[in-house]
Structure formats: structure tokens, C-alpha cells
């Protein structure tokens, strides 16, 4: 059941004393604020969008949010873990359709909020289908996101097919991770994987990853046919972030670097230097066909290792 209402009404129906409250942010968006013994986190109901996660022992957040991120109805938020669905990147045929699908810019509702036995906080959200969404994608789909905030952050994105006919989706949890300095950061786990380099000629060249991934310029790569964990090595902050996924066969890695970030306008001064996107996804040949009355889940768990 979709539980709708003002932050005050949501507090009454879903709030968990000293653990979960709801507030208004920006231009009237509603944000769930979690603060439990393990971590703090924020989830904007629009887009089912986790915008913050910081384990209690951590000096800095693990999930990055731009200082210039806008919280406005129908607008994407720069940072956090945007939900890209039911397509990734530009729409295959409709140039005027939103990039990365519509899930991240439409209203979602909370369906459940509980405290778990291990003191983690689990919130489940569901995308609210509407005439607006059906005008962009007219399949009988149901999209939910289960967020578990504890010593780790676990996100499970589930697509249900409520109709008789199969449909195809591509998807990503487009997560921005906070680092001390992108120029000193390495990504392990993608060695020898095939990838599409989207910074090259249109359509992108296919190459194979040699060794750990390091960054010296704009990097925009879709690694295909990989189910591997990734580890983000951050010597500047003396930490590693593990990205462990299931139900995902693609990993996208992106930094806009200085010039592109500047043009995008909502990274803030040097914001690009303190983030990198490592996105658990199913895109290109890894797009997912969901049979009639079937479902598919993609999960990712982020953990901090010193």
C-alpha cells in the first residue's frame, strides 16, 4: 500500500522514534532522514533517491551529494544514487525523452519502514505510475526500491511485470561515491572486462580493461558481462569502498572531470574531484527481459573498509 502525505503525516504513520523522520527539502520535496546506531542516510521520495549515507565511524559520507544539488519537482538531483529506469542513457528512439529514464524524476511513495533486529533501518519505496509515466513507457510495470541502512548500505531495485507480455528494461543505480581525490583513486575488479568507451567516437569503441582503472581525464565506460564486486581504493581518505552486486551484469564508471563538470553547472567548485560514479547496471547486451507476471531484482551493497 502506498503511504502518501505531508512529512508530518508520514512521521505519524511511518516514523520510528529516534530512527526515522520525514522533512521537506528544497522546493517542496519530501526526504526521509535515517539516523540509527550504524549510520545516517537520506532518501528523497521523488525518484526513490538515496541522497546520503554515512556510517557512524566514517569521517566523511560514502555517498556523495553535490553542494549545488537542486531538490525540485521533476528535476534530477546531482549525486546520491539516482535510479535510472526503465532505460539507461538516451532513449533508443525518442530524442525528447529524459536521459536515464523517468524513474528518478517522478513521485514515489513509501510502502514500509521497519527497524531490523540488528538495528538497521529498512525502507521500501514504490514508483507511482501515472499518465505522465505511461506516456513515456506504456508497459504494466511495478518498480520498488528496498533501502537497508546499517553498517552497510544495501539497495534492491525490483521490477515487476504485471501484464501477460514480456518487456525489456535497462537500468542502473547510478551511485556517486565520495573520494578524497579522483586523481589518486583506483577501481579494482574490472580487470580484463570488455567495456564501451563513451568518450570516444559516437557509439563508443569496445576495448578491454588492463589492470586497475585510474583517472586522468573524463572517463565514461560501460563494462559489460561482469558480475564482479568492485573496490574503490581511496588513499587520500585511507579507505576502500566495496561495491558488491547481484542481478547486475554491467558496471558503469564515470567521472566528468573538470571541463564537463563545469558545463553541467551543478557540481559546484571542484565537486568533480571528490566523486566517482560506480554504477551497478544492466545495459546494452545486458538489458533484461522480464516475462509476463515475472520480476527481476538488482541489488548492490556498499561497505566501507579501512
Element (H, E) at 63: none
Distance in angstroms (rounded) separating the CA atoms of residues 62 and 120: 17
Asked if 241 and 232 count as a contact pair (C-beta separation under 8 A), the reply is: yes
Pairing between β-strand 275-282 and β-strand 176-178 as defined by DSSP bridges: antiparallel
Distance of closest approach, residue 182 Cβ to ligand TA6, in angstroms: 14
**Binding of residue 66 to ligand TA6 (CB under 6 A):** no
Q: Is 100 in the site for ligand TA6 (CB under 6 A)?
A: yes
Contact yes or no for 213/190 (Cβ under 8 A):
yes
Residue (48 or 55) nearer to ligand TA6, CB: 48
Q: Least CB distance from residue 99 to ligand TA6, whole Å?
A: 5
CB 168 within 8 A of CB 139: no
State the Cα–Cα distance between residues 161 and 165, nearest whole angstrom: 8
Round to whole Å and give the CA distance between 258 and 54.
Answer: 26
C-alpha cell at 169: 528494461
List CB contacts of 47: < 8 A, sequence separation 6 or more.
76, 77, 82, 83, 103, 104, 105, 106, 108
User: Does residue 252 bind ligand TA6 (CB under 6 A)?
Assistant: yes
The least distance separating ligand TA6 from the CB of residue 72, rounded to whole angstroms, comes to 14
Site string for ligand TA6, 131-170 (x = CB under 6 A): ----------------------------------------
Return the CA Rg of the chain: 18
Site for ligand TA6 in 200-229 (CB under 6 A): 220
* Residues 110, 12: Cα–Cα separation, whole Å: 13
Among 38, 49, 91, 174, the active-site one is 174
Contact status: 99 vs ligand TA6 (CB under 6 A): yes
From residue 74 to residue 93, what is the string marking binding to ligand TA6 with x (rule CB under 6 A)?
A: --x------------x----
Q: Interface with ligand TA6 includes 171 (CB under 6 A)? A: no
Quick check: 242 and 303 in contact, CB under 8 A? yes
Whether 38 is a known active-site residue: answer no
Number of residues that bind ligand TA6 (CB under 6 A): 11
Active site residue 301: no
Let me know how many helices (H) and strands (E) the chain has, helices first: 3, 23
Chosen residue from 83, 279, 290, 302 binding ligand TA6 by CB under 6 A:
279
Report if residue 250 touches ligand TA6, rule: CB under 6 A: no
Query: Which member of 279, 293, 296, 301 is catalytic?
Result: 279
Binding site for ligand TA6 (CB under 6 A): 76, 89, 99-100, 174, 198, 220, 252, 254, 277, 279
Annotated catalytic residues are 174, 279
Amino acid at each position: 500500500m502506498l503511504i502518501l502525505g505531508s512529512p508530518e503525516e508520514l512521521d505519524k504513520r511511518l516514523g520510528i522514534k529516534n530512527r526515522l523522520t520525514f522533512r521537506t527539502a528544497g522546493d517542496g520535496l519530501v526526504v526521509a532522514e535515517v539516523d540509527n546506531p550504524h549510520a545516517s542516510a537520506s532518501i528523497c521520495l521523488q525518484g526513490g533517491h538515496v541522497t546520503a549515507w554515512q556510517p557512524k565511524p566514517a569521517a566523511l559520507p560514502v555517498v556523495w551529494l553535490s553542494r549545488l544539488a537542486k531538490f525540485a519537482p521533476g528535476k534530477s538531483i546531482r549525486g546520491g544514487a539516482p535510479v535510472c529506469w526503465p532505460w539507461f542513457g538516451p532513449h533508443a528512439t525518442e530524442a525528447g525523452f529524459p536521459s536515464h529514464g523517468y524513474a528518478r524524476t517522478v513521485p514515489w511513495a513509501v510502502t514500509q519502514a521497519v527497524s531490523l533486529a540488528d538495528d538497521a533501518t529498512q525502507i521500501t519505496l514504490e514508483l507511482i505510475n501515472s499518465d505522465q509515466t505511461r506516456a513515456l513507457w506504456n508497459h504494466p510495470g511495478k518498480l520498488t526500491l528496498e533501502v537497508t541502512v546499517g553498517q552497510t548500505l544495501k539497495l534492491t531495485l525490483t521490477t515487476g511485470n504485471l501484464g501477460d507480455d514480456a518487456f525489456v528494461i535497462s537500468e542502473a543505480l547510478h551511485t556517486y561515491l565520495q573520494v578524497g581525490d579522483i586523481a589518486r583513486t583506483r577501481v579494482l575488479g574490472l580487470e580484463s572486462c570488455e567495456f564501451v568507451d563513451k568518450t570516444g567516437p559516437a557509439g563508443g569503441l569496445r576495448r578491454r580493461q588492463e589492470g586497475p582503472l585510474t583517472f586522468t581525464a573524463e572517463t565514461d565506460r560501460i563494462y559489460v558481462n561482469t558480475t564482479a564486486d568492485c573496490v574503490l581504493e581511496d588513499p587520500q581518505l585511507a579507505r576502500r569502498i566495496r561495491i558488491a552486486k547481484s542481478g547486475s551484469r554491467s558496471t558503469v564508471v564515470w567521472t566528468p572531470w573538470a571541463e564537463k563538470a563545469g558545463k553541467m553547472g551543478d557540481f559546484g567548485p571542484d565537486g568533480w574531484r571528490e566523486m566517482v560514479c560506480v554504477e551497478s547496471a544492466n545495459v546494452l547486451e545486458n538489458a533484461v527481459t522480464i516475462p509476463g507476471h515475472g520480476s527481476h531484482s538488482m541489488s548492490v551493497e556498499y561497505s566501507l573498509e579501512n
